[in-house]
Amino acid sequence: MAKPALHEVPPPAPAPVEGVRAVDRALVLLRAFRDDDGPLPLTELSRRAGLNMTTALRLLGTLEGHGFIKRLPSGGYMLGATLLLLGDVFKRSLRLEHHVMPALERLRAESRESAAFFVREGDQRRCVFRLDSPQIVRDIAHVGEAQPLGRGAHGRSLVALETGTPLPVVTRGERLPQIAAIACPVLNAAGEVAGSIGISVPLYRFDAEIEALCTPLVMREAIAMTRDLGGDPTPLERLRR
Amino acid sequence: MAKPALHEVPPPAPAPVEGVRAVDRALVLLRAFRDDDGPLPLTELSRRAGLNMTTALRLLGTLEGHGFIKRLPSGGYMLGATLLLLGDVFKRSLRLEHHVMPALERLRAESRESAAFFVREGDQRRCVFRLDSPQIVRDIAHVGEAQPLGRGAHGRSLVALETGTPLPVVTRGERLPQIAAIACPVLNAAGEVAGSIGISVPLYRFDAEIEALCTPLVMREAIAMTRDLGGDPTPLERLRR
DNA sequence: CAGTCACTTCCGTCAGATGGAAGTCACTTG
DNA sequence: CAAGTGACTTCCATCTGACGGAAGTGACTG
């Protein structure tokens, strides 16, 4: 007899990870929370994590004890505030926030478009800081998301020094069909690529005028942040288009 | 022979929690990361968590597999990017961000002081959103931190409807000796207190002028956000000082 | 070159994680 | 209103897999 499959979300890949089983399962439970789904009932959570309800209940109890999970009086489970705290500790451990946020604020204020900062992570890149455009039509992206290297403006920008790509990198609908973006790497005191800063614009309003406005803004902030971090912006100047 | 006690941080309360042991210990390992200490070596981590090194190593391996821990090539462990992701999912699950951040931006821009938003959590309150003052001298506070109810401007503001405290709440050096703050609750569509919004100012520059400037700003944003959330601001107006 | 320290691997033992079964409670259906 | 359903919880006997001591590796120091 076929399974009913009443719920929309399919049993999302029980995680290919190995290790201490109980911990493994607890982490799968945490990662079962996606996007902005509200409180989840035990049944749904154990289904998503592929766990026996008894086991899920026990693990959730432990997670709750540390504030990783919040149990609502009305029933249902949500992520807990400890994650807010640790997410913030993580950000601060990058020791970039102090330089990045003011730069993103300037970019957004002067361009009226969304500004973001990515760091490289192995063969991926991850959005670590982001400010949304003040305009009503804007692209949607979330802090913490990982994306491929080499594709998209930030993806190219993070490897621009290796590939000799002219800076700033400008893409139109490359990774996402309806988005254009401008990005430039930022160097640290060791001359390494600390990250990539840039602006993204819905493609329909990315004309010559907005490009002419944003290109120097992105370069300016990349060079300024490189200096702030004690780095030498010469390699960026050298690749300037 | 007395232990050398080479490290500054004392074995920080091995956590009074109970539950599935392996999970319990893994979570203690995560919470062993404090503030902005950089990469921690295995020895230090197992010491802080009160774990056998073998056990800590095994648990860290599992945590790494899910991106909760990042192991640096140069040795040492850091928090991982999954925490960034889940911290953000947590924020979005409150379904407040969209209304809170623009309000905080207006408050900061018009007052040139730090703005923050707190939510109630049982008999505590927690800072969920915050924007730092653009000025050089400012108070330091971190998103995610929990503080007592009933003390401090936000602590009083969150219970103002129960206690009949005039709004906005203004405190000078109440919870922190060198900080003044102004706060007002925000109501949701159910008439419940959704949180508290406000401004904090170093006490030395909190004079009559800045108070006269900030008080109406805080009230204006609390009332506007209450309306945004579909709530009725009448109870706030009624308590207006 | 011996000594120390940080980290890792191995493996026998047994604490404790697991999940089936049964109980509770709130709703729905006939 | 009784029987049925489904979400959640408790209990407990079984046996898996987490644990940590011991030994190994490799880098650095005096």
Q: The domain spanning residue B115 has which CATH number?
A: 3.30.450.40
B95 with B156, same domain?
yes
Average pLDDT over residues A66-88: 89
- Residue-level pLDDT, tens digit, chain B, 241 residues: 333 333 334 434 334 456 789 999 999 999 999 876 788 999 999 999 999 999 999 999 999 999 999 888 778 899 988 998 999 899 888 888 878 988 999 999 999 999 999 999 889 999 999 998 888 778 888 899 999 999 999 999 999 999 999 999 999 999 999 899 999 999 987 788 999 999 999 999 999 999 999 999 999 999 999 988 878 899 999 999 8
pTM over 0.85: no
Q: Is residue A16 assigned to a domain?
A: no
Q: Is residue A200 assigned to a domain?
A: yes
Strand boundaries in chain B, DSSP class E: 69-71, 77-79, 114-121, 124-131, 146-148, 169-172, 179-187, 193-202
B97 with B56, same domain?
no
A59/B23 CB distance under 8 A: yes
> Domain boundary residue among B51, B80, B109?
B80
Total domain count, chain B: 2
DSSP three-state, residue A124: strand
A48 with A135, same domain?
no
Residue A134 has pLDDT above 90, yes or no: no
> Domain boundary residue among B31, B53, B80?
B80
Q: Is residue A147 assigned to a domain?
A: yes
Q: Is residue B221 assigned to a domain?
A: yes
> Domain boundary residue among B80, B100, B126?
B80
A141 with A230, same domain?
yes
B148 with B118, same domain?
yes
Q: The domain spanning residue B54 has which CATH number?
A: 1.10.10.10
What percentage of chain B's residues is helix, strand, coil (to nearest 5)? Answer: 40, 20, 40
* Residue in chain B nearest A18 by alpha carbon: B62
pLDDT for residue B214: 95
CB pairs under 8 A between A and B: 175
B22/A23 CB distance under 8 A: yes
For residue B35, the chain A residues in CB contact (below 8 A) are: 89, 92
CA distance B1 to chain A (A): 35
CA distance A110 to chain B (A): 15
Quickly give B241 CA vs C7 C1' distance in Å.
63
Question: Which domain covers residue A73, as residue numbers?
Answer: 21-84
The 10s digit of each residue's pLDDT in A1-42 is: 333 333 334 434 334 456 789 999 999 999 999 877 778 999
A136 with A63, same domain?
no
Q: Is residue B86 assigned to a domain?
A: no
Strand boundaries in chain A, DSSP class E: 69-71, 77-79, 114-121, 124-131, 146-148, 169-172, 179-187, 193-202
For residue B31, the chain A residues in CB contact (below 8 A) are: 66, 82, 86
pLDDT for residue A5: 33
CA distance A94 to chain B (A): 8
Largest Cα–Cα distance of chain B, in whole Å?
68
A25 nearest nucleotide via C1' and CA: C17
* Residue in chain B nearest A23 by alpha carbon: B23
